[in-house]
Amino acid sequence: MPIYNPPIRDLQFVLHDVLKLSQSDLPGHDDLDPEFTEAILEAAGKLSSEVLAPLNLPGDQQGCMLENGVVRTPDGFGKAFEAVKEGGWTALDCDPEYGGQGMPYTMGVATGEMFVSANMAFNMYQGLTHGAYSAIHAHGTDDQKQTYLPKMVSCDWTGTMNLTEPHCGTDLGMLRTKAEPQDDGSYLITGQKIFISAGDHDLAENVIHLVLAKAPGGGEGTKGISLFIVPKFLVNEDGSLGERNGVSVGALEHKMGIHANATCVMNYDGAKGWLLGDLHKGMRAMFTMMNEARIGVGLQGYAGAVPAYQNAVAYAKDRLQGRSVTGAKNPSGPADPLIVHPDIRRSLMDQKSFLEGARALSLWGAHLIDRSHLGNDADAEGLISLMTPVIKGFLTDKGFEATVLAQQVFGGHGYVEEWGMSQFVRDARITMIYEGANGVQALDLVGRKLAQDGGKHVMAFFAMIKTFCKDNAQNEAIATDFIAPLKAASKDLQTAAMFFMERGMKNPNDALSGSYDFMHLFGHVTLGFMWARMAVAAQSGLDTGTGDADFLKTKLATGRYYMKRQLPMTATHLARIQSGAETVMELDQEAF
């Protein structure tokens, strides 16, 4: 059975030494001192490692079952879901008006990392609910909020997002699901949706579907789309559950991974639905969910790789194979542990330096969202809007790579399902696909976000890096190892952005042919920035003698690895970008 150790100390380091959470002037943040957050993280960690993690491998092997139209989750999921609810974890960062605890989103992400690491498929039942909660919270009427939110905050009812249809995913303008207005103000929804995560299950009394559909009069394409609330069971005036609505599970998908999450074909046969937000403005409302979901998937991307790394480390320390090239390190044993071998170290350091950087990025992103929402900070909102596709695309691509690296440490044992390493890889693979495949994230970044508000946000990003570098230029312990490579990498990113501006006007394909590399280039620069910030914090701790010196020294060494061995990727991405569209677009379709 794979292990999972909640990374409390590292989460605390990012929250307090780097982000300085409790020193923020945002509402409610002054309570969040290190002792308080540690207590929260410890409790979430305990639940994750003791209750959720042990269900991960069995959940993968058992999967979900569709029996007489009802989805059954794997053994133990029901009890674990109750434990999560009872602990109040589903309500952590929700609005107190509807039963939430009102903590910042940053804390939701910090605890969420551990829930995802422990059991990604399980956590999705709650995660989708949170997205639906946010959409209703932002766009619902008072009545809708009163009806749905308290039950969704507690996860007595769970939520879903219904976008994809068999013939369209990214291009939602083509969707065919219809909404017919009724005299009572409701709509009848008819159509088929596919790939609906947590579409049905036995963990909750009701499932609240948010469904994109076309109501009459909206015109062609995405303009005609509206968003509807379609509950599995209709809700009576008094809040009790009424009759079954006209929505049913057509089939369960057989997937590469996340077997324990029910991915459903949902059939809407004149199901009763209610408009959420404005008519024909469903895409806007849906994007409230999508943006949150994308940050959440970025979180999944690296969080899923955390236990993979931990198990690889444990195996590398335990498995005796070969001798160190510099002399036996375990002379009394039949061989040395794998971890003495440089190439095993290279793999573990690639994982470790990515995962810790990703954790910082994810929490920084969450903190930007808090600044945007709680502090009405428009700059923070612009920055996180720019960063969202980077967080989603880069963290999931590299997170998947990290699981593959971790699996590789096990040799043949990594390929056998009983060790659990295959599951980490198979589960991680979906994060690159759903909530907008990573190519779509790259398109969003280069085609939309770069030029948003006149390019203001990307310029603010560069200014922020520049200021940081200037502020720390005299910090001798940091300047050579961190500031210099960050500057160089940031220059590559600026050069790429300039290339897009100059060439993209004339030939948009010149920009879009480099969009994927740009997303990765941006990701590396951002992780380099995170590492430089962590290095400043760690060095400061060492200089002042506060904190665990071993931990801080390890942090600095891990950061140096990232700067030396990962950041040089920016040069290759830039070279690919600068080659433009010519070789990408040259061939006729028939030549492929």
Residues annotated as part of the active site: 435
- Which range, of 237-245, 285-293, 432-440, 465-473, touches a copy of itself by CB under 8 A? 432-440
Q: DSSP letter for 15, please.
A: I
Nearer CB in complex with a copy of itself: 92/194: 194
The residues near 261 (Cβ < 8 Å, ≥ 6 apart) are: 64, 121, 122, 124, 125, 197, 198
Do 180 and 225 form a contact (C-beta atoms < 8 A)? no
Give the footprint of a copy of itself on residues 505-544 (CB under 8 A): 507-509, 512-513, 515-516
Nearer CB in complex with a copy of itself: 129/558: 558
408 closest CA partner among 356, 359, 355, 350 = 350
SS3 per-residue string spanning 506-522: CCHHHHHCCHHHHHHHH
Q: What is the DSSP string of 461-496?
A: HHHHHHHHHHHTTT-HHHIIIIIHHHHHHHHHHHHH
- The whole-angstrom separation of Cα 357 and Cα 398 is 11
- The whole-angstrom separation of Cα 392 and Cα 431 is 8
Tokens 């609906």: give the residue: 196
- C-beta of 92: minimal distance to a copy of itself in Å? 29
Nearer CB in complex with a copy of itself: 327/454: 327
- The whole-angstrom separation of Cα 124 and Cα 106 is 18
- C-beta of 3: minimal distance to a copy of itself in Å? 13
Bridge-based pairing of strands 187-197 and 178-181 is antiparallel
- C-beta of 394: minimal distance to a copy of itself in Å? 15
Nearer CB in complex with a copy of itself: 374/402: 402
Give the footprint of a copy of itself on residues 377-406 (CB under 8 A): 400, 404
Say whether residue 219 binds a copy of itself (CB under 8 A). Answer: no
- The whole-angstrom separation of Cα 151 and Cα 156 is 5
- Which one of residues 253, 377, 379, 381 is an interface residue with a copy of itself (CB under 8 A)? 253
Give the footprint of a copy of itself on residues 72-91 (CB under 8 A): none
- C-beta of 411: minimal distance to a copy of itself in Å? 5
> Residue 453 has which token pair?
């508000």
Give the footprint of a copy of itself on residues 266-285 (CB under 8 A): none
Say whether residue 254 binds a copy of itself (CB under 8 A). Answer: yes
- C-beta of 49: minimal distance to a copy of itself in Å? 18
Site size toward a copy of itself (CB under 8 A) is 93
- C-beta of 409: minimal distance to a copy of itself in Å? 9
Say whether residue 460 binds a copy of itself (CB under 8 A). Answer: no
Say whether residue 121 binds a copy of itself (CB under 8 A). Answer: no
Nearer CB in complex with a copy of itself: 237/587: 587
Say whether residue 194 binds a copy of itself (CB under 8 A). Answer: yes
> Residue 558 has which token pair?
């891990």
Question: Interface mask (CB under 8 A) for a copy of itself, residues 313-352, using x and -?
Answer: x--xx--xxx--xx-------xx-x-x-xxxxxxxxx--x
Phi and psi at residue 181, to the nearest 5°? -65, 140
- The whole-angstrom separation of Cα 124 and Cα 543 is 42
Q: DSSP letter for 320, please.
A: B
Give the footprint of a copy of itself on residues 541-580 (CB under 8 A): 550, 554, 557-558, 560-561, 564-565, 568-569, 571-572, 575-576, 579
